[in-house]
Amino acid sequence: MTSFSASTLEKKLNDLSNTQQSVQTLSLWLIHHRKHAKLVVQTWNKEVHRAKPAKKLTLLYLANDVLQNSKKKGSEFNAEFKAALPSVFKHCSQETYKDATVKGMGRLLKIWSERGVFELSYIEKLRKLTNYEPPIEASPPPSKIARLDSASDEPAEPPDAEELIKALQELEQSASQDAVVREKIANLPAEVQDVSLLEKIEDKETGDRLTRIVDKACVLLAEYNGRLSAEMEDRVTLSKMLSSFLALQKDKLAETEKRLEEFRAKLDKVTMVRKELKSHLDNLPDLSKLPDVDGGLPPLPSAGDLFASSSGQKS
């Protein structure tokens, strides 16, 4: 796992994307370096304030994942995030002007209330900063306890083609495609997987060496399992995106077919007008064949001409 540094942390926060895999992978890394919780939350806070509106909610989802999954390991993150969240919630409510972001924060508050991440009085304080309604229930029924999914819980609105292509491309880099990590796991020594082999340890030095190997194996496997879980959820999300996209395309197909029929009818009408116009024009006299009247009509024959013509016929 990558070693911790302020610059690495900033880069990882900057590279964070709105996918479950991205959120969970970074969350695992942060929890692994929980002794730096204070610096992590300070840097996270700065990133939220300078991030674009679309990314603010993703950073809040990251905080949620860290809060929920670090509880068993210690309270470092809970204390640091508790100090930072009021200013973050106030900032997001004022700066984003997006209903989706405010609703997302409302969902976070509901989950934190149901799972006891923070005390209810503190959650109510955050809720007032967002002006989110309805108020949080003090004792929600167990059946209503929901899990936050930063990717798949979002409204299943039809994605655009670019978004869909990006989701497909991201899955090409998913955990199941990571041959390097799978090879590392396959090459782990048998001692880390077979308890019976521990009996062969005869000195502390060997035991310490194996402890280090086991610790690294645990981190490697935990991270890979997290990535695999994230990939599964990403594929569920992608499946929903595809279904939504296909439904949208079917609607557009039906709309296009209807429009095609409409314009075919218009084409038939215009074609008929053109045919009738041609027929009408064909029946009109050809003015080019009429005598040229610009120089006046030819003179009428005189009486002499008429008699001369008549005499000529008798002879």
DSSP class of residue 246? Answer: H
- Give the model confidence (pLDDT) of 51-84 as tens digits: 888 788 899 999 999 998 888 778 889 999 999 9
Look at residue 43 and tell me whether its pLDDT is greater than 90.
yes
Q: Strands, DSSP E only, in 177-285? A: none
Greater confidence (146 vs 209) lies with 209
HEC profile of 288-304: HHCCCCCCCCCCCCCHH
- Is the per-residue pLDDT at 136 higher than 50? no
Whether the pLDDT of residue 126 is over 70: the answer is yes
16, 23 contact by CB (below 8 A): yes
Instruction: Provide the pLDDT for residue 95.
Output: 60
CA quadruple 144, 146, 152, 156: dihedral, nearest 10: 20
C-beta pairs of 176-179 under 8 Å, 24+ apart in sequence = 176/228, 176/231, 178/224, 178/227
Q: Is 284 helix (H, G, I), strand (E, B) or coil?
A: coil
Interatomic CA distance for residues 111 and 95, integer angstroms: 23
Inform me whether the pLDDT recorded for 152 exceeds 50: no
- DSSP code, position 298: P
Beta-strand ranges (E) seen in the chain are: none
Per-residue pLDDT of 174-214, as tens digits, reads 888 888 888 888 888 887 777 777 777 788 887 788 888 88
pLDDT mean over 128-155? 48
